[in-house]
Structure 1
């Protein structure tokens, strides 16, 4: 049975730079690094969002063949409260537009965008009314 999103992994050539870039974006420090300091990390992980979802960064040299190539494949979209503001901030931080802000469906508020981070990973963001409905039911 699928129980929920557990960990999203991205790859980077410079884990320290990726850690610092995402710490600035998320406003929190990575809670885990391996190996531990003072060694240079090969993996770092953050917990963010309403469910403390995990996003990890793996040294690209450990990527399976073909997995860490040009941006492609599935895109996971994170719900954000201010889609335009988030996209603007990502671009100001050096990300490149992958897909512009795009409304989907019948105008009911499902809007997505994606960028390529400075490390070559596609990061999706969106406004998702269903996400807000589910989170609202928890209160």
Structure 2
């Protein structure tokens, strides 16, 4: 069991947008799904192999002192199979390139954009992600 102090996994990624409805439509198109949960000013998607939560929040609900309206802070990288293809799709949807396709070594590849709402979105081919997924899939099959 993990120590109670350690970070154990992503619970929810929150992105803020002044135009919440447009952000909801943009992310629905990108992800190919509608939000599974909605409240006024909040929409949540479950995505990926582990059904991580991506929350879109009206920027009027941002924490006091949050810097909004431009990229900043941490970059969350989502695993994708095709970094260049995903980057091209994001750019075609109106995102702005922050960092182009970058080989990081050992088969790790990243890119990042700023979405039309000012949030940084990172994409990455991550062999470690695939190793963990394969190990969990194998363990479940052996049960």
Q: Does 1:4 align with 2:9?
A: yes
Matched residue SS, 2:103: strand
Identify the residue that residue 126 of structure 2 maps to in structure 1.
128
Identify the residue that residue 13 of structure 1 maps to in structure 2.
18
Identify the residue that residue 79 of structure 1 maps to in structure 2.
79
Q: Does 1:25 align with 2:24?
A: no
Identify the residue that residue 58 of structure 1 maps to in structure 2.
57
1:108-123 to 2 correspondences below 5 Å: 108-123=106-121
- Which segment drifts farther, 59-68 or 10-19? 59-68
Q: Any gaps of 5 or more consecutive residues in structure 2? A: 138-143
Identify the residue that residue 38 of structure 1 maps to in structure 2.
none
CA drift of 1:67 comes to 3.0
CA root-mean-square deviation: 1.0
Distance 1:83 1:103 in 2: 10
TM-score of the aligned structures, taking structure 2 as reference length: 0.88
CA drift of 1:68 comes to 2.0
Higher helix share: 2
TM-score of the aligned structures, taking structure 1 as reference length: 0.90
Q: Any gaps of 5 or more consecutive residues in structure 1? A: 35-40
Distance 2:19 2:101 in 1: 29
1:64-103 to 2 correspondences below 5 Å: 64=63, 65-103=65-103
Report the number of matched residues.
131
